[in-house]
Chains A and B, each alone.
Chain A
Amino acid sequence: MSRPVPVLTASGLVKAHGRTTALRGASIELGAGEILAVTGPSGSGKSTLLHCLAGIVRPDDGSVTYDGRRLEDLPEKRLSELRRTEFGVVFQFGQLIPELTALDNVALPLLLAGTGRAGARERAGEWLERFGVRGQRDLRPGEMSGGQAQRAALARALVTGPRVVFADEPTGALDSLASEQVMTALVHTAREAGTAVLLITHDAQVAAYADREVQLRDGAVAQLGVTA
């Protein structure tokens, strides 16, 4: 089967944290609209790879190209703007601001992009609806269940219509039912919007939602899975 046009390409990424080397020459390609799972044992460099690809950290060596632009050439300000407008991120926890309601959390990226408060809240409400958590719009993250909070976080990551969503163990703290709801919501919305997803997980049942799987071992890609 033919692979989609790559939207994000990384080659030869090397990154060390102090004395431990997290990435030793990892190369990876994410196609437009593709859902790619990155799996591997703990400490294999999965999160560091995501951080490099999303322009959150700069690799010590190697290159990341997004849409023809080399991320290492961009200043922090442009990277931040890129993350805000063209990328979305979901972590295991911590991405929602604890003091804001679900609705305001989802509206935040729109506010940052210059949308007015009323318009931002209206669109945020629609996205909460899509992820089935509209009823929780006025709750703060601490008042929601883990699955609801993650679905609100997905809404926040997708509300700006990004081209790539980075998800680092988005279901890591959830039971299997909540995990299923979160993953189904993510996959459906991403397919509908044509958003590419880089999904980091250690759970094969979560990785099975992806089109393709890449395994990391000791900071490098171990084996390419079969294209679906």
Chain B
Amino acid sequence: MSSLRSDLRLAWELTRGSDRGEWWRVALTATGAALATGFALAAVALAALRGSYRVPVAAGLLDEPGTRAGVIVGLLLLLVPVLGFLGQCARIGAVHRDRRLAGLRLAGATPWQVRRIAALETGLACLLGSAVATALSLLLLLRQWDRPTALAWVGIALVAVAVPLLGAAAGALALRRVVASPLGWVRRVGPRDGRGPGLLFLAGVLLVAVVALLTVTTTSTAAPNRPNGEPPLQLMGVVLAVGAGAVWLSGATAKATGRILAARARSAATLIAAERLRDDPWSAARTHAAVLLVTVVGTGFMGIRQVLSDVVRTERNLAESASYYTTGLDLTGAAIVVAFAITLSGLAVGTAESLATRRRGLAAQAAAGVPRTVLGRALLLETALPLAPAVLLAGLGGTAIGTWYALLGDRPVPWAIALVPVAVYAACLLAAATSLPLLRRSLRPGELRYA
């Protein structure tokens, strides 16, 4: 216990003495953890309900087990962009932190001690986020629900504890190479292959998917004969298949784009961006994968929404009031918008981090007279180039889903949804552009002085 306390103190001292990048990581990791906890708690609370209830929010959508399952799945799917966001946060100041922990190893810390310290750093940030989110969620829940069931309490406790624990585990896992070779990491800041974290993300997505499927099957047992039980499952299968492909696709397109453009680049900005992509195509794969997923889901949803609105407007004999359906659609839409916002934040954080890591090199470029505009353009191109083919493909996938749904219901094909990927692409560029002021600040000659 005393060793844990000394590790804890060391972790705290190290974080306190570190620069602003570390504080950003802690703050953003805590935010991500809070979001994850919030979504998971809502899902758990809903999953704890069995059979029909009268839930005073969302126009009766939460009353029936079937639709409730849909909402739960939606909430769980929101965890996917949050995972992407957390992955991006973990990279903030990563080079710095890796060196510091490797330094600890050189100073005689055992691999386990280093792992514990790293796990404590991440775990504490997650604990902070999870505690805040749990407290807020409980306040909200107790207002809506007089007497939550024992199952709900167990679920809530489980989520509140699991988030920091998973965070700590991920923190320790991300450091396996630092722990293995302290010397290499002190000396060299080489490009990493990035597949490890990408796999971590994929594993997270799979976990979410399995949980989501379980939820649908268990909560739907109250009404096993519902005729609409199958299409949502099929839809989810499609979304998952597209999503799993997305991680691979975004890395692969980044690599291919880099390779093709590097050979043909005519301008300095394109050359720099292309070579960076070729060198480390996986660095942004997680966020880009989340962008792709959001694009697929968003485009597909817009199609479905248009078809369903058309149905609600034209059909006379609906089982429920029109607001029941529109609320459902609006809720889903809101969830997608939230997911997209989180993804964009992840993208912005990733771009800022990539800038911060390269501060000294960028300052040297500026000193050598490389115009700021060229460096800025290269930065934007790094996001724009690999995303273009990927978003295009994802847009096609989403449009296919929407079209398929329209044809299924024998409704007019919603062509307007093809605009969604364009909007997504533009928003991503804007998110990346938020780093441009940071670029200006990075190009200080003071950066030239130190190793």
Query: Residues of A at under 8 Å CB distance from B?
Result: 17, 47, 51, 54, 56-57, 77, 80-85, 87-89, 91, 93-95, 97-101, 104, 108-109, 111-112, 116-117, 140, 142, 156-157, 168
Interface string of B383-406 (1 = CB under 8 A from A): 000000000000000000000000
Contact assessment for B445 and A108 in the assembled complex, using a CB-CB cutoff below 8 Å: no
Contact assessment for A109 and B272 in the assembled complex, using a CB-CB cutoff below 8 Å: no
Contact assessment for B369 and A104 in the assembled complex, using a CB-CB cutoff below 8 Å: no
Interface string of B342-386 (1 = CB under 8 A from A): 000000000000000000110111111111101000000000000
3 cross-chain pairs, A with B, having the tightest CB-CB distances, nearest first: A84-B369, A83-B369, A99-B275
Contact assessment for B448 and A91 in the assembled complex, using a CB-CB cutoff below 8 Å: yes
Contact assessment for A100 and B371 in the assembled complex, using a CB-CB cutoff below 8 Å: no
A210→B67 CA distance, assembly (Å): 81
Contact assessment for A108 and B190 in the assembled complex, using a CB-CB cutoff below 8 Å: no
**Residue B451 is within 8 A (CB to CB) of chain A in the complex:** yes
Residue of A nearest to B279 (CB): A99
**Residue B108 is within 8 A (CB to CB) of chain A in the complex:** no
Q: Give chain B interface residues in 258-292, CB to chain A under 8 Å.
A: 264-268, 271-272, 275-276, 278-280
A47→B17 CA distance, assembly (Å): 28
Residue of B nearest to A118 (CB): B266
Known: A56-B445, A112-B268, A117-B266. A97 touches B365 (CB 8 A): yes
Using Cβ atoms and an 8 Å threshold, which residues of chain A touch B268? 108, 111-112
Using Cβ atoms and an 8 Å threshold, which residues of chain A touch B374? 112
Contact assessment for B190 and A89 in the assembled complex, using a CB-CB cutoff below 8 Å: no
Q: Which of B264, B364, B366, B449 has the most CB of A within 10 A?
A: B364
A88→B370 CA distance, assembly (Å): 11
Contact assessment for B367 and A112 in the assembled complex, using a CB-CB cutoff below 8 Å: no
Contact assessment for A111 and B364 in the assembled complex, using a CB-CB cutoff below 8 Å: no
**Residue B446 is within 8 A (CB to CB) of chain A in the complex:** yes
In the assembled complex, the CB of B342 is this many whole angstroms from the nearest CB of chain A, namely 29
A157→B371 CA distance, assembly (Å): 16
A116→B366 CA distance, assembly (Å): 21
Contact assessment for B371 and A56 in the assembled complex, using a CB-CB cutoff below 8 Å: no
Using Cβ atoms and an 8 Å threshold, which residues of chain B touch A95? 364-365, 367-368
Q: Is the interface of B mostly helix, strand, loop or mixed?
A: helix
B contact residues, total (Cβ < 8 Å): 32
Using Cβ atoms and an 8 Å threshold, which residues of chain B touch A108? 268, 271-272, 370
Q: Which of B278, B367, B446 has the most CB of A within 10 A?
A: B367
Q: Which of A51, A80, A98 contacts B361 (CB 8 A)?
A: A98
Contact assessment for A100 and B449 in the assembled complex, using a CB-CB cutoff below 8 Å: no
Residue of B nearest to A48 (CB): B445
In the assembled complex, the CB of A169 is this many whole angstroms from the nearest CB of chain B, namely 10
Using Cβ atoms and an 8 Å threshold, which residues of chain B touch A54? 367
Residue of B nearest to A90 (CB): B368
Using Cβ atoms and an 8 Å threshold, which residues of chain A touch B370? 80, 84, 108, 112
Contact assessment for B190 and A82 in the assembled complex, using a CB-CB cutoff below 8 Å: no
Residue of B nearest to A140 (CB): B279
Contact assessment for A109 and B368 in the assembled complex, using a CB-CB cutoff below 8 Å: yes
Contact assessment for A89 and B367 in the assembled complex, using a CB-CB cutoff below 8 Å: yes
Residue of A nearest to B361 (CB): A94
Residue of B nearest to A114 (CB): B267
Using Cβ atoms and an 8 Å threshold, which residues of chain A touch B369? 80-85, 87, 89, 109, 112
Using Cβ atoms and an 8 Å threshold, which residues of chain A touch B190? 142
Q: Which of B265, B279, B445 has the most CB of A within 10 A?
A: B445
Contact assessment for A104 and B271 in the assembled complex, using a CB-CB cutoff below 8 Å: yes
Using Cβ atoms and an 8 Å threshold, which residues of chain A touch B267? 111
A97→B374 CA distance, assembly (Å): 14
A88→B267 CA distance, assembly (Å): 20
Contact assessment for B445 and A80 in the assembled complex, using a CB-CB cutoff below 8 Å: no
Told that A80-B372, A91-B367 touch, could you supply 14 new A-B pairs with CB distance under 8 A? A17-B446, A47-B449, A81-B369, A95-B365, A98-B279, A99-B279, A100-B275, A101-B275, A108-B268, A111-B266, A111-B267, A117-B265, A140-B279, A142-B188
In the assembled complex, the CB of B124 is this many whole angstroms from the nearest CB of chain A, namely 33
Contact assessment for A116 and B271 in the assembled complex, using a CB-CB cutoff below 8 Å: no
Q: Which of A17, A57, A83, A100 contacts B271 (CB 8 A)?
A: A100
Using Cβ atoms and an 8 Å threshold, which residues of chain B touch A89? 364, 367-369
A170→B127 CA distance, assembly (Å): 48
Q: Which of B272, B366, B368, B451 contacts A100 (CB 8 A)?
A: B272
Using Cβ atoms and an 8 Å threshold, which residues of chain B touch A98? 279, 361
A83→B364 CA distance, assembly (Å): 12
Using Cβ atoms and an 8 Å threshold, which residues of chain A touch B279? 98-99, 140
Contact assessment for A84 and B271 in the assembled complex, using a CB-CB cutoff below 8 Å: no
A-B contact pairs, 15 of them (CB 8 A): A57-B445, A81-B369, A83-B368, A84-B368, A84-B371, A95-B367, A97-B365, A98-B279, A108-B271, A109-B369, A111-B267, A112-B371, A117-B264, A156-B368, A157-B368
Interface string of B23-40 (1 = CB under 8 A from A): 000000000000000000
A54→B445 CA distance, assembly (Å): 11
Using Cβ atoms and an 8 Å threshold, which residues of chain A touch B368? 83-84, 88-89, 95, 109, 156-157
A101→B271 CA distance, assembly (Å): 11
In the assembled complex, the CB of B377 is this many whole angstroms from the nearest CB of chain A, namely 12
